[in-house]
Structure 1
């Protein structure tokens, strides 16, 4: 994408307009469309509780599309295979280097595939575990123990990994947690209210980080 167009889009992100977030659409056969009520519920929670001005309509956007640059935050989920083409890699690199943010939430079964694609995306930058002292766990809601556990999966400790670009967290990978399931309508997974609240508050922290840094 033309660098002047990119800069123009980034400028719009920082103005007082209603901002939009999106679900990332990718190839490989994985169900990128899983958890359809997740982001709308998270947007509603954030607009009501941390005074964001997010558009309640959540779109999907193709990883290789120029439209990716319209969204300062994109959420990626699924249970299976993920394949980024060379064009996808280049577009996503440009997006992230321009200030975009990618949240990858393993919905159980994505891990072995997405790690390979992250390595293709950042061959010279390590995916590192995010310390519990990072601001994303501190504001507006406090998570002193780091990422909350939402769904059991393999009953392992939830972990938050990241890729940093010039000290800015650009890619957040949440593993053994399943925040997206916690954002879904209550009747989908029948999670207790306190578990859903933890998921939504952690999601609010992520969006707060994106729109305040």
Structure 2
């Protein structure tokens, strides 16, 4: 056990000094690989507009790997099933309470699966709706009305949910917004430029908040 914690501490010390982000690969058959241009585009936007210096070569890490400790920010998306093994859940919990941040963006259809699996990660914590005056909505750009709507699915308002640990937001779940679609190359979804700009600005808020808290 001591060896495991020594490894985790070393990996965490590495990611504290880095500005790297990664896509989280998970089990269950869901398309964790959807929106392939989204995170690279967001990284470039942040580097160009909010003075970050993030490695633009976005990597992929598995939920159960200690490699996640190399990244202060993880992004997860998809449409379908999600499954975390007990080891995956423990690894993610250790990562998040040690200072990591996970953004989960429902690309449509993910919500019933991820909410169930998050109970394995934090059995005693509920996803709660984040108030519109939370710092994540103003860390770089002002979103006084909260999460922006990027793509329409079921006619529902966009909602931002979170899990807090010792008052720190460690996990953000964006629902009925589809931020990642707005981050993708313009020709993928043909979104108007102002819609893409809203998505990228909200993404920049998330990145800035994750790096500074």
Q: What does residue 14 of structure 2 align with? A: 12
How far did residue 6 of structure 1 move? 2.7
Partner secondary structure for residue 177 of structure 2? coil
Separation (CA, whole Å) in 1 of partners of 2:103 and 2:139 = 17
Q: Which runs of 4+ in 1 moved over 4 A?
A: none
Could you state the TM-score of these two structures normalised by the residue count of structure 2?
A: 0.96
Partner secondary structure for residue 23 of structure 1? strand
The 8 Å contact of residues 25 and 33 in structure 1, kept in 2 or not, is answered as yes
Segments of 5+ residues of structure 2 without an aligned counterpart are none
How far did residue 20 of structure 1 move? 1.1
The 8 Å contact of residues 6 and 98 in structure 1, kept in 2 or not, is answered as no
> Over aligned residues, Cα RMSD in angstroms?
1.1
The CA deviation string for residues 114-157 of structure 1, in whole angstroms up to 9 with x for no partner, is 11001221111111000000000012100000000000011100
How far did residue 50 of structure 1 move? 0.3
The CA deviation string for residues 141-183 of structure 1, in whole angstroms up to 9 with x for no partner, is 0000000000001110000000001111101000000000000
Separation (CA, whole Å) in 1 of partners of 2:119 and 2:16 = 30
Q: What does residue 39 of structure 2 align with? A: 39
Separation (CA, whole Å) in 1 of partners of 2:132 and 2:102 = 19
Could you state the TM-score of these two structures normalised by the residue count of structure 1?
A: 0.96
Segments of 5+ residues of structure 1 without an aligned counterpart are none
Partner secondary structure for residue 197 of structure 1? helix
Q: What does residue 23 of structure 2 align with? A: 23
Do residues 84 (structure 1) and 116 (structure 2) align?
A: no
Mapping of residues 87-166 of structure 1, within 5 Å:
87-166=87-166
Count of aligned pairs: 211
How far did residue 12 of structure 1 move? 3.1
The CA deviation string for residues 177-207 of structure 1, in whole angstroms up to 9 with x for no partner, is 0000000000000000000000000000000
How far did residue 5 of structure 1 move? 3.2
Separation (CA, whole Å) in 1 of partners of 2:52 and 2:7 = 25
Q: What does residue 193 of structure 2 align with? A: 193
